[in-house]
Amino acid sequence: MADRRFASAAAARFPGLIGASGDVYSVRDVREYLEMGCAPVMLARGALSNPWLLPEALHALGFDVLSEQLARAGIGVLPPTPEERFAGLCRLGERAREMIGERQAVVLLKRLMGGILRGMEGASELRRRAGCAVELDELLSVFSAGMLGRTAEAPTQAGGTVTLSPACHFCHKGDAPLAPVSVTSVTPSL
């Protein structure tokens, strides 16, 4: 846990010149740093664990981010619906594949999936299934089936397929089926 006493003392001594970072995981953390007198607040790991922390914080501070900016990102409400989260994952995955390659795109999505799936029923099982994916299309198929209840089948590097169906949501990769998963609701994280 970051020791905020140093940031507070520095912000009091140099008003408007000190930026804060460290253990910023909630809107309350952002407010606390701002109330200390820190000018900018950096989210860092907080944004990895909750990709919607920035718009949530800006909205809580009175900025109108929910309309124009979020609409451009395909998000209508916070927290986003499973459909909006899946669309965001797809956009991010495709963009990452173009910029950094297939393997790193999969690593990036796996790194972010905890925050993206936060608050969703069945998220831990979905993360476990996604952890087995080695290709982006396979990973997105797992998310599609788990988040949207769509039948998904994607080829694997080994030549087999991953099959998920909305009826049973079992992942078959030569192992015993995993426990059923159904993601149907989202609870607010604020």
**CATH code, domain with 146:** 1.10.1200.80
Task: Kindly tell me if the per-residue pLDDT of 36 is higher than 50.
Answer: yes
152-189 pLDDT, tens per residue? 444 444 444 444 433 333 344 444 444 433 333 333 33
Residue 139 belongs to some domain of the structure: yes
64-114 pLDDT, tens per residue? 776 655 666 656 556 677 787 788 888 889 999 999 999 999 999 998 888
Q: What is the per-residue pLDDT for 72?
A: 62
**Structure tokens, 8:** 């507070």
Q: What is the per-residue pLDDT for 175?
A: 42
Residues 94 and 158 in one domain: yes
Residue 117 belongs to some domain of the structure: yes
Q: What phi and psi, each to the nearest 5 degrees, are found at residue 133?
A: -70, 140
Residue 141 belongs to some domain of the structure: yes
Residue 144 belongs to some domain of the structure: yes
Residue 186 belongs to some domain of the structure: no
Range with lowest mean pLDDT among 8-17, 43-52, 151-160, 165-174: 165-174
Domain boundary among 51, 72, 93: 72
The structure's pTM equals: 0.60
Residues 61 and 98 in one domain: no
What range does the domain containing 32 cover? 4-72
97 vs 55, residue with greater confidence: 97
Residue 172 belongs to some domain of the structure: no
Residues 106 and 33 in one domain: no
CB 180 within 8 Å of CB 168: yes
CA distance 110 to 83: 18
100-154 pLDDT, tens per residue? 999 999 999 998 888 778 777 888 888 888 888 899 999 998 888 877 775 444 4
Give the burial class of 183: count Cβ atoms within 10 A of its Cβ; 0-12 exposed, 13-18 middle, 19 or more buried: buried
Residue 184 belongs to some domain of the structure: no
Q: What is the per-residue pLDDT for 136?
A: 93
Task: Kindly tell me if the per-residue pLDDT of 39 is higher than 50.
Answer: yes
When divided into structural domains, the chain yields a total of 2
